Amino acid sequence: MEAELAALAASGATSLVGLMVSDSWGQAKERLARFLARRRGDADGAGGTPGAGDGEDALQAASDELEAVRGVPDEGAVADLENRWSQRLLQILREDPDAAGELRRLLDELAPARPHSIHPEPRPDQVPALTVAFVNRTADLSALDRCFVGGGARAAAVGIGVLHGMPGVGKTATACHWADRSRELYPDGQMYVDFASLRGQTGGDVSEAVAMCLRSLGVRDEWMPRSLAERTALFRSHSARRRLLVVLDDVSHPAQVRPLVPKGPGSAVLVTSHGKLGELVLDGARLIALDPLDGDGGMRLLADRCGEDAVAAERAAAERLVELCGGLPVALHVVAARLLTDRRLTMTGLAAELADEAGRLAGMSMRGEPQVSAVLGPSYRTLPPEAARLYRLLGWAPVRAFDTATAAVAAGIGTSRAAELLEVLETASLLEGSPDGRYRLHDLVRLHARACAEREEADGERAALTRRVAAHYLALTALADRAIRADRLRIADLSGLTADTSDPFASPGSPAPLEWLEAERTNILQVLRAASQQQLHAPVWQLAEVFTVLFLHHRHLAMWRESLELGAAAAAADLMPAAEARLRSLLSRPLLDLGEDDRARAELEAAVSCAEIADHIVLRASVQEFLGRYWDRADPARAIDAYRRSLELNRRAGEARGAAIATYFLGCAQDAHGDHVDALTTLTRAREELLGCSDARMAARATAAIGTVHDHLGHTQEALRALREAARTLRDQDATHYEAQALVRLADITERTGAPRSAARPYLVRALEIHEAGGSPEAQGLRERLDGE
């Protein structure tokens, strides 16, 4: 109620002073005098003559005072007069409840005679100038144009726009640039308030911000209302006849914005904030997210600061610097400053320096505290304690993109609480959320969070966090592994761990386990690396073992090799010969595919020794199978011997599927040795046994091998039929590597039949797509083969 009275008093005072210089002042003065005469408080006086108690005398004194300064550039005198009459009218309104209605009616009747302006009004121009060129942001500037520029009802409305984004992303520069290019839209001026400079005033930041704006509109401190409500009312009154732009920088709460929304039609408020300030949507605000610069924008900024020639001379290094800065303008400006102030420093040298994460933030500094840390520090320091702790621990988390469950595990808290804290971090723009429910920290934010953790967290907390996250991913990967193929040789017994974990692949609508593994493969490898660094040997080899199921279907060879190398080393350190044998034998697979045959043989020889020490018959059978795969390339006769030993061991152990797989490889080796008829018999039996074990994927591989044997026997049509059937089934089973093998054989046979070369092209195109997706070295040969057509 007080705020409404203050607003009415301020409006009345402005109207009254305006009427004093109008032609209708005589009539207006009589009616105003009668209003004042009927009210208490008239003895206070409001005119320039002290002690003028009579209403008509006070009005005349005020009119004389105003007449004395007309034509004189003394805007403060007019503002003083308005302030004094505002205080007098407010006292009347407080003492007489009926006065408000009468004053409103009186003002409405007298308003038509009021002139638009009684003197030249202050025209603030406070938005800071940009000291460096502004690049890119075309889409963001267009969004601001749409927010504020328009016709009809929108042109008369007061627009509110909120630029939000992470610290250092360029919100202030974007706001200032847009304000500068939009001057003609706001003929009565542009005001600017930096809330960062007002913080720490014990809740007085908003009140002082309104006072700053009032001063820019001519209100002197001696007439400045004391309360926020009165200042807000006076600001609305003073802005009512103006078209203004108010830029509010570094706002942290919606309550900081509302008192500073001007009343003049067509005015606007442009807010910058780390948070979204979503509550302002209720006030009609439009939210515009500001993202880091893309690669092109970052290069343009670097070229503007350092020169086009300098960037062209070291373009690869310049692109690497933009990448290391993550498109964050504040980081790019520091990088440019370092290059400009140190002539001995090259872009190549600086890129090499910043490549080391441990020193990257320190490298983004001119002096003292790194600038990126200085920008992020205030946002971090204002976080609630629990959110600040989660922020720190996420800096240590060995995954770049994570869901709520992973964040909860990292912090050792419940999932619902983690969701609440993640929302706090996202609101503070320290965290980026995506529509699929996953989150990530910008690389430089992650390094800042990690630095905070190293400074504030207890010794051993990082290892404990890595252990928790590793156990989380181990359980989920083990469940995915089991869901894909339950009857596969495994050394680790993870039944206790999986029994205590909710199975995310068991319910209707849940993700397919192979798709989940594909989506999480980068995270799983990062967890393996972090756990290995922390010497968590058991989780490393166990996770490497269950992770390999992905690569049996999708051949990401480099990733497969690294995961198994970490696992084998961990098994050796954990004194687990069975696990070491299993992982080293598996490691031979990607090594052979990558052409590292000698190393594959060394790993297999070590695996044979470890398997003998472990005295595990099924493991020994498996190692012999892998050994046969090596000899397939060098000596088919020795391969046949290895597969027969594997077949015998599997039968002794009662392993029907292991025996069927050994039979399949035996048939392939017989075919390679030239025993095509025996091979056809062996492979046919292998396919039947694999189908009996419900292993459609391996049965399809046997079908493909049968097609190859038919080709060797000159049975062309039988070969084509078998390979087409195998390729279809392998694709359905998501066994893309083996699908590609079948497709290449189909292309070879098709071309040999004399068919047009275009008939084989679809097979080769699909095979190339598979090999490129998996990073296979065979992709180049397929590409050249297609280009040669």
Higher pLDDT, 94 or 665: 665
Q: Work out the average pLDDT over 631-636.
A: 90
Note whether 303 and 283 are same-domain residues. Answer: no
* One domain for residues 167 and 205: yes
Looking at the structure, tell me whether residues 219 and 319 fall in a common domain.
Answer: no
Measure the CA–CA gap between 729 and 739, rounded to whole angstroms.
8
pTM of the model: 0.69
pLDDT tens-place string over residues 379-402: 899 899 999 999 999 999 999 899
Residue 500: predicted pLDDT? 86
Query: Residue 154: pLDDT above 60?
Result: no
Q: What's residue 51's pLDDT?
A: 36
For range 323-332, the mean pLDDT: 91
Note whether residue 55 is domain-resident. Answer: yes
pLDDT above 60 for 44: no
303 plus 237 within the same structural domain: no
Q: Are residues 203 and 68 in the same domain?
A: no
CATH number at residue 150: 3.40.50.300
pLDDT in tens, 118-141: 445 689 999 998 877 787 788 899
Report pLDDT for 384.
95
Q: What's the mean per-residue pLDDT of the chain?
A: 88
Do 83 and 142 share a domain, yes or no? no
CATH (domain of 617): 1.25.40.10
- 419 token code pair: 């969701």
Q: pLDDT tens digit string along 546-605?
A: 999 999 888 899 999 999 999 999 999 999 999 999 999 999 999 999 999 999 999 999
Helix (H, G, I), strand (E, B) or coil at 565: helix
pLDDT in tens, 515-526: 999 999 999 999
pLDDT band at 48 (very low <50, low <70, confident <90, very high): very low
pLDDT at residue 222, as a whole number: 82
* Residues 726 and 595 reside in one and the same domain: yes
Q: Write out pLDDT tens, residues 353-367.
A: 999 988 888 888 876
- Do residues 127 and 236 make contact, with C-beta atoms less than 8 angstroms apart? no
702 vs 58, 99, 553, 771, CA distance in Å?
Answer: 108, 98, 16, 21
Mean pLDDT of 600-611: 96
Give yes or no: residues 619 and 716 share one domain: yes
- Regarding whether 283 and 225 lie in a shared domain, the answer is yes
Structural domain boundaries enclosing 706? 564-787
Calculate mean pLDDT across residues 731-760: 90
In a domain, 271, yes or no: yes
pLDDT at 41 over 80: no
Please report whether residue 90 resides in a domain.
Answer: yes
- Residue 39's pLDDT is what? 67
Q: Are residues 723 and 627 in the same domain?
A: yes
Determine the angle formed by the axes of helices 2-19 and 55-69, rounding to 10 degrees: 60
Per the structure, how many domains does the chain have? 4
Does residue 761 fall inside a structural domain? yes
How many C-beta atoms surround the C-beta of residue 698 within 10 A?
22
- Judgement on whether residues 632 and 658 belong to the same structural domain of the protein: yes
Q: 96 and 181: one domain?
A: no
What pLDDT was estimated at residue 153?
41
pLDDT at 26 over 50: yes
Beta-carbon contacts of 706 under 8 Å, excluding residues fewer than 6 positions away, are 680, 683, 684, 687, 722
Note the pLDDT tens digit of each residue in 268-313: 999 999 888 889 999 889 999 999 999 999 999 999 999 999 999 9
Residue 531 has pLDDT above 80, yes or no: yes
Query: Can you give the pLDDT at residue 122?
Result: 82
Q: What does the alpha-carbon distance between residue 603 and residue 428 come to, in Å, rounded to a whole number?
A: 50
Question: How far is the C-alpha of 434 from the C-alpha of 585, rounded, in Å?
Answer: 40
Q: What is the mean pLDDT of residues 326-346?
A: 89
From residue 122, alpha-carbon distances to 216, 217, 557 in Å are 7, 6, 70
Evaluate whether residue 104 is within a structural domain.
yes
pLDDT of residue 652: 94
